[in-house]
Amino acid sequence: MLSLEFAVPMEGGAMSTLFFILALIGVACGIATSIMIASFLSRRGIKINYLFFRVLIFKYIRQYREITMEETGKPGPLFYSFITAWNLALLLAIVGIILKINTL
């Protein structure tokens, strides 16, 4: 299997590891965006329940979107960053799993 455009041969296992690392970077970006959204909401006077943060994150995302829609007329950049980061992490993890299964 060839790596991107550099024509450097890579084993399937190394390629799947690359996709898993990229997926972890996407997860880290998603977590960082979640924290920034919580900070934004906290500055606006909304109480954040940090104990159940993982369960309530979608509620906070919706509140962030509603507040930024009222203020600017469109969702804020953190909304798109959150959606993109998690979807990209999911996609890269799936590709990594498929590559790993195909090399077995």
> Would residue 29 count as lying in a domain?
yes
> Would residue 82 count as lying in a domain?
yes
> Would residue 19 count as lying in a domain?
yes
Torsion of CA 21, 25, 26, 31, to 10 degrees: 140
User: What is the count of structural domains for the chain?
Assistant: 1
Range of the domain at 75: 11-103
Q: How many CB atoms lie within 10 A of CB 40?
A: 17
> Would residue 6 count as lying in a domain?
no
Give me the tens of pLDDT residue by residue for the chain, a chain 104 residues long.
445 555 455 665 788 899 999 999 999 999 999 999 999 999 999 999 999 999 999 999 999 999 999 999 999 999 999 999 999 999 999 999 998 888 87
